[in-house]
Structure 1
Amino acid sequence: MNELEQQFLHQLESKLWNAADKLRATLDAAQYKHAVLGLIFVKYVSDAFSMRQDEIKAELADPEHEYYLDPDGLSADELAAEIAAELEQRDYYTEQNVFWLPPESRWSFLQNNAPLAIGSVELTIAGKPKKITSVGHLIDTALEGIERDNPKLKGVLNKTYSALRIDQAKLVELINLIATIPFNHKTLNSKDILGHVYEYFLGQFALSEGKKGGQFYTPASIVTLIVEMIEPFEGRVYDPAMGSGGFFVQSEKFIERHAGQHAVDPLTQKQKISIYGQEYNHTTWQLAAMNMAIRGLDYDFGKEPASTYTHDQHPDLRADFIMANPPFNMREWNVGVDENDPRWKYGTPPAGNANFAWLQHMLSHLAPNGSQALLLANGSMSSTTNNEGEIRKNLVTNDLVECMVALPGQLFTNTQIPACIWFLTNNKGARTDKANRKLRDRKGEVLFIDARNLGYMKDRVLRDFTTEDIAKVADVFHAWKTGEAVNGVSYEDQAGFCKSATLEEITKHDFVLTPGRYVGAADEADDGMPFAEKMASLTDKLSEQFAESAKLEAEIKKNLAGLGYGI
């Protein structure tokens, strides 16, 4: 992305958030998030519809095009009527993967009639008169029309605007604000703009909602790091705690970046990745579905929002890639779960912490050559309480753990709990993976990466990774897996950063998987001063500091005595 494109997006996000922030005083962040993102979705699909309409008009006027409408023998009014009729042909839109919108769902209709609906107004909807009682009712009617005429969106859109306790005039302001989002740009396509707006708003809302909101949002740089390491080029991709679907979006972007083409096979016109997800929260489940729909991605999120523990929506799935950021250290997760559940192959997780329940649930869905990555709290790497140490031991001795990455603090909007990434695989043997890399035999080895010193503070509270940080970790991981140089990087142990350890070494550390135990401290630069001379210098400096401390203490006592305080 060039500088002008970045500037355009930054100006857009600043304008949107500053204006939107003024409008949300009457709603909490969770409600406002869905109100804003739902309207942004309507604006996007409506703009896409309008752009396709313009294309059709041009095709109807082009004698070289198969859709050419010959004006011979037609009056101006008849020609205009013919064109208007052609523009309402659904097939023209669906053949280009553009959502068909009935008149009441188009943005111009919504924006023009919103001020009239503040009180009450009768409008023609689906060819019949209908009384619209509020602006919220008008928006819900637009969403109902989109769902009715696009079966893949059935049950996906959040039609609750009528129930929002918000000044209807404020809702009109919100519509007028979102109307200013330009989904057309000289070099950026509309999906890129929409995706950026969605990701930006999700991040800002996660900050506003605090812990509760952030559990559904994984910072983009962490998602990108995991995707770059696990490399989901093609196959079945699964996220059992999918939130808004960030891992799926980044998987598509990964394919586009590395394969030089869209995530659809140009020969078969089929998606290279099959997307499977599950989410418990109903509105977040809807948000994830919208996130896929706007990108034209097919997906299977199960029949309904449901608990991954008690109502697995994909019981027979064996995925090639599994990625997740489940809620950290979740308590009382096991209500309604059998202690002898077959998923607990490596040990029954404790009721007070779901970390190893998530991990083993994912393993139960992993294909024979599959790979999985999940974010967990740092405690998962060392805890020995309530069977956690035994589960971790079993995972190591069964040679499932491939790589452990320790992350820096302050990466998350919603928690200061230090986190790590677990990478596991069912097969460490030599083979060719989905990315067409020839992997060496890594049986009996685990790679430890300490990334705690990477990243930069993007503001006073949040740290982020640079593109170079992500590449540094990913390239080392792939060089270790292949035994060959990747992007000019050959693998070797680096003190303070990475270490390839054997199962014997891990056993000596009582199966604790904290990277710091294995990578050690970074080598300090040698200043050339002999040890004895350096020690003498440090001793002299320490003596000077002790003397200065004594001098200051005497001065303080003297001043206090002058004030009548004896010490």
Structure 2
Amino acid sequence: MQKAEQEFLKDLDKKLWSAADKLRNNLDAAVYKHVVLGLIFLKYVSDAFDERRDELREHFRNEDHDFYIPQDDMSDEEYEALIEEELEVRDYYIAKNVFWVPPLARWETLKQNNKLSNGDIIELPEGEKYEFKNVARLIDDANGAIEKENPKLKNILDRTYSQKQLPPEKLGELIDLFSDANFNAKEYKGKPLSINSKDILGHVYEYFLGEFALAEGKKGGQYYTPKSIVKLMVQMLKPFEGRVYDPAMGSGGFFVQSEEFIEEYGGKIGQISVYGQESNPTTWRLAAMNMAIRGIDFDFGKQPADSFTNDQHPDLRADYVMANPPFNVKDWWNEKLADDPRWEYGTPPEGNANFAWLQHMLYHLSPNGSLALLLANGSMSSQTSGEGEIRKNLLEADLVECMVALPGQLFTNTQIPACIWFLTKNKTNGTKTPDGKGKGDRSGKVLFIDAREKGYMKDRVLRDFKPEEIKDIAETLTNWQKGSEDYEDIPGYCKSATLDEIRKNDYVLTPGRYVGAPETEDDGIPFSEKIEKLTARLKTQFEESEALETRIKENLAGLGYEL
């Protein structure tokens, strides 16, 4: 994306969020989220429909196009009426994977009629009429009409606007806000833009997801993984073709980044098929809308469901699996899981789901597949309740490929330090890569990366990665996988360790144990001299501390207090 486009999107994001947030009043962010994101989705499907409609209008008038409609001896009025009639043929839209939007649900209908009074009549094409009650009911009925015409969206759109008790004028102002936003901008500050309305709306949808996660705090963070972490995992895993699966998908961030990764490498989103699962019904719908906005074909199962007790994809063997499940979940266990075939490397403890998630993902991995999983740091070293034995079994099976220690303060919902596990079913050479060159043989080796010093504080609370840091970490893994001369162990940052080295560390996978301390520049001062100076300084500081303590005691005694 060009700099002008990045600046345009950043400016648009801030303007829209600021304006939308002002309209929130006392409505809870968790409720308001669905109000706003539902409207963005409605705007998206309507814009995509209008874009196809304008394209068809041009085709109908173009003598060189297959869809050309000759005017012959018709009057201009008759010809225009014929074209308008032809524009209402549903198949023209479905053939291009564009959702068919019935007249009631078109954005223009909402824009022109959101301030009507109860009982007013909205005139629709072909003599249809709609009796207006209030704007919330209009949105509910619009969503219902879209679902009816597009089976892929059944039970996905929000039809509860009437129950949210948002003042009608506020809903109307939100519709006006998204109506006035420049989603069709062709230039920004005199520079040309090459992004269309659909791409802009997709970006805005993702931005709002992140902002709502911040607004909701811990609760909101449960369904949203910070974009930079998702991007890092995707850039390292490189899901460029085949089946991609996320058993704890939240709002679908990994799938969105996979799409962007594929486009970055010159591929097409059709090269992957997307499978996901999510237990929260409202988040499940958010993810489905997120995919629909981007034209990604998806299978999220028949319903929202728990991945452990109601696996929606029991026969799936994916080429890539990525997830950020909730850390250290205690209440996940069910008695029917006792002899589950997924626990090939050991039954996970009933009080912690970390290794249940990991083995669930391994179970769904194809023979040449790879996975990336965010877990709490404790998973790298814990010996309790059999976790150490599971980790040992995974290593002895040569499944662990790379471990990354992350810096703190990356998440909105937890301060628990996190790490990324990368596992693969096949470490021998021949595994495909986007550049077609394949990977080298990594049998019996594990790459450790200590990224705890990476990132910057984007505000007083949250840390983020810089794009160049994401690139550097991803390239470190890629170069190691290929056996490239560009890879080398760097003290304090990365180390390629053998299984024998890991055995000597009792199968603990904390990168700090292997990468060691960073090299320091030799300043020419002998070590003994440095120690002598430091000792003298420390002695002085102890003496000053003792004198200060004496003065404090004397002052307190003068006030009638004693320590």
TM-score norm. by structure 1 comes to 0.93
Aligned ranges 1:224-243 → 2 under 5 Å: 224-243=231-250
Change in 2 beyond 3 A, CA 1:75/1:566 = closer
Give the distance between the partners of 1:283 and 1:565, measured in 2 at CA. Answer: 60
What letter is aligned with 1:324? A
Aligned ranges 1:109-148 → 2 under 5 Å: 109-116=109-116, 119-123=118-122, 128-148=128-148
Give the distance between the partners of 2:328 and 2:348, measured in 1 at CA. Answer: 11
Aligned ranges 1:314-325 → 2 under 5 Å: 314-325=313-324
Asked if the contact 1:234/1:434 (under 8 Å) is kept, the reply is: no
Change in 2 beyond 3 A, CA 1:261/1:392 = closer
Asked if the contact 1:240/1:277 (under 8 Å) is kept, the reply is: yes
What letter is aligned with 2:65? H
In structure 2, the residue corresponding to 1:305 is in which secondary structure?
Answer: coil
Say whether residues 1:503 and 2:486 are aligned partners.
no
What letter is aligned with 1:220? K
In structure 1, the residue corresponding to 2:255 is in which secondary structure?
Answer: helix
Aligned twin of 1:357? 356
Q: Encode CA deviations 1:168-222: one digit per residue, 9 max, x unaligned.
A: 2221122112222332232222333122211211111111222222111111111
Say whether residues 1:292 and 2:291 are aligned partners.
yes
What letter is aligned with 2:250? G
Give the distance between the partners of 2:50 and 2:124, measured in 1 at CA. Answer: 19
Give the distance between the partners of 1:412 and 1:453, measured in 2 at CA. Answer: 16
Aligned residues: 554
- Of 508, 515, 532 in structure 2, the residue corresponding to residue 512 of structure 1 is 508
Aligned twin of 2:281? 282
Say whether residues 1:211 and 2:210 are aligned partners.
no
Say whether residues 1:81 and 2:81 are aligned partners.
yes
Say whether residues 1:251 and 2:247 are aligned partners.
no
- Runs of 5+ consecutive residues of structure 2 not aligned to the other structure: 187-193
TM-score norm. by structure 2 comes to 0.94
Aligned twin of 2:71? 71
Aligned twin of 1:62? 62
What letter is aligned with 1:133? K
Change in 2 beyond 3 A, CA 1:527/1:304 = same
Percent identical pairs in the alignment equals 62
Give the distance between the partners of 2:307 and 2:549, measured in 1 at CA. Answer: 63
In structure 2, the residue corresponding to 1:156 is in which secondary structure?
Answer: coil
Tell me how far 1:321 sits from its aligned partner.
0.4
Give the distance between the partners of 1:174 and 1:143, measured in 2 at CA. Answer: 16
What letter is aligned with 1:182? N
Aligned twin of 1:471? 471
Tell me how far 1:428 sits from its aligned partner.
1.1
Q: Encode CA deviations 1:285-330: one digit per residue, 9 max, x unaligned.
A: 1111111111111111111111111111111111110000111111
Aligned twin of 1:29? 29
Asked if the contact 2:243/2:273 (under 8 Å) is kept, the reply is: yes
Aligned twin of 1:440? 440
In structure 1, the residue corresponding to 2:337 is in which secondary structure?
Answer: coil
Structure 1 residues 12-21 or 130-139, which shifts more? 130-139
Structure 1 residues 318-327 or 284-293, which shifts more? 284-293
Asked if the contact 2:407/2:451 (under 8 Å) is kept, the reply is: yes
Give the distance between the partners of 1:513 and 1:133, measured in 2 at CA. Answer: 62
Give the distance between the partners of 1:295 and 1:481, measured in 2 at CA. Answer: 31
Aligned twin of 2:191? none
What letter is aligned with 1:213? G
Tell me how far 1:25 sits from its aligned partner.
2.8
What letter is aligned with 1:204? E
Structure 1 residues 319-328 or 497-506, which shifts more? 497-506
Taking only aligned residues, the RMSD between alpha carbons, in angstroms, comes to 2.0
- Runs of 5+ consecutive residues of structure 1 not aligned to the other structure: 264-270
Asked if the contact 1:44/1:194 (under 8 Å) is kept, the reply is: yes
The runs of 4+ residues in structure 1 deviating greater than 6 Å are: 564-567
- Of 262, 271, 283 in structure 1, the residue corresponding to residue 268 of structure 2 is 262
Asked if the contact 1:309/1:337 (under 8 Å) is kept, the reply is: no
Say whether residues 1:524 and 2:528 are aligned partners.
no
Aligned twin of 2:46? 46
In structure 1, the residue corresponding to 2:137 is in which secondary structure?
Answer: helix
In structure 2, the residue corresponding to 1:356 is in which secondary structure?
Answer: helix
Give the distance between the partners of 1:171 and 1:504, measured in 2 at CA. Answer: 63
Give the distance between the partners of 1:162 and 1:120, measured in 2 at CA. Answer: 16
Give the distance between the partners of 1:394 and 1:213, measured in 2 at CA. Answer: 35
Give the distance between the partners of 1:502 and 1:553, measured in 2 at CA. Answer: 53
Aligned ranges 1:3-18 → 2 under 5 Å: 3-18=3-18
Tell me how far 1:543 sits from its aligned partner.
3.4
Say whether residues 1:99 and 2:95 are aligned partners.
no
Aligned twin of 2:336? 337
In structure 2, the residue corresponding to 1:501 is in which secondary structure?
Answer: strand
Tell me how far 1:72 sits from its aligned partner.
4.2
Give the distance between the partners of 1:507 and 1:386, measured in 2 at CA. Answer: 20
Aligned twin of 1:152? 152
Q: Encode CA deviations 1:62-97: one digit per residue, 9 max, x unaligned.
A: 333333333342223212212221222223323333
Say whether residues 1:401 and 2:400 are aligned partners.
yes
Asked if the contact 2:309/2:337 (under 8 Å) is kept, the reply is: no
In structure 2, the residue corresponding to 1:493 is in which secondary structure?
Answer: coil
- Of 485, 488, 499 in structure 2, the residue corresponding to residue 492 of structure 1 is 488
In structure 2, the residue corresponding to 1:48 is in which secondary structure?
Answer: helix
Asked if the contact 1:26/1:165 (under 8 Å) is kept, the reply is: no
Give the distance between the partners of 2:51 and 2:250, measured in 1 at CA. Answer: 31
Aligned twin of 1:266? none
Q: Encode CA deviations 1:212-253: one digit per residue, 9 max, x unaligned.
A: 221111111111111111111101111111111111111111
What letter is aligned with 2:505? H
Q: Encode CA deviations 1:112-149: one digit per residue, 9 max, x unaligned.
A: 121115x3434457865444432211001111121222
Asked if the contact 1:47/1:183 (under 8 Å) is kept, the reply is: no
Change in 2 beyond 3 A, CA 1:120/1:384 = farther
Give the distance between the partners of 1:120 and 1:328, measured in 2 at CA. Answer: 52
What letter is aligned with 2:354? N
Asked if the contact 2:368/2:431 (under 8 Å) is kept, the reply is: no
Change in 2 beyond 3 A, CA 1:92/1:566 = closer
Change in 2 beyond 3 A, CA 1:530/1:273 = same
Structure 1 residues 392-401 or 151-160, which shifts more? 151-160
